[in-house]
Amino acid sequence: MMSLGALQFLRDNQIKMPDDISMVIFDDYEWSTISHPTLTSVKQDTVSLGEKVAEIILKRLSDGELQDTVQEFRVKTQLIKRESCSIVKK
């Protein structure tokens, strides 16, 4: 939702997107297709992400291992190209 504030800042300061700046948002919100310009998004598989987090939490609880540990895993993402990105000519 920070992108809404960024859009307002750009409008208030007469910064044109994508002519002056390009913008990519994380998560493909429904409103990103109706904004002007439409926003390029990185979409992630939030269902798989939630399942993996739940799996890790349940395993830690069942093992009694409640110390902070770092685990790395990958989530599938997809770049959805829209109007907010271009080669900035300045």
Q: Measure the CA–CA gap between 90 and 81, rounded to whole angstroms.
A: 21
Does residue 90 surpass a pLDDT of 70?
no
Does residue 65 surpass a pLDDT of 90?
no
pLDDT attached to residue 12: 95
Does residue 68 surpass a pLDDT of 80?
no
Does residue 80 surpass a pLDDT of 80?
yes
Mean pLDDT of 1-27: 90
pLDDT digits (tens, 9 = 90+) for 23-62: 999 888 888 888 889 999 999 998 999 999 999 889 888 8
Q: Measure the CA–CA gap between 84 and 81, rounded to whole angstroms.
A: 8
Residue 29 contacts residue 84 (beta carbons within 8 Å): no
Answer with the residue of higher pLDDT: 71 or 76: 76
> What residues are paired with 50 via a beta bridge?
none
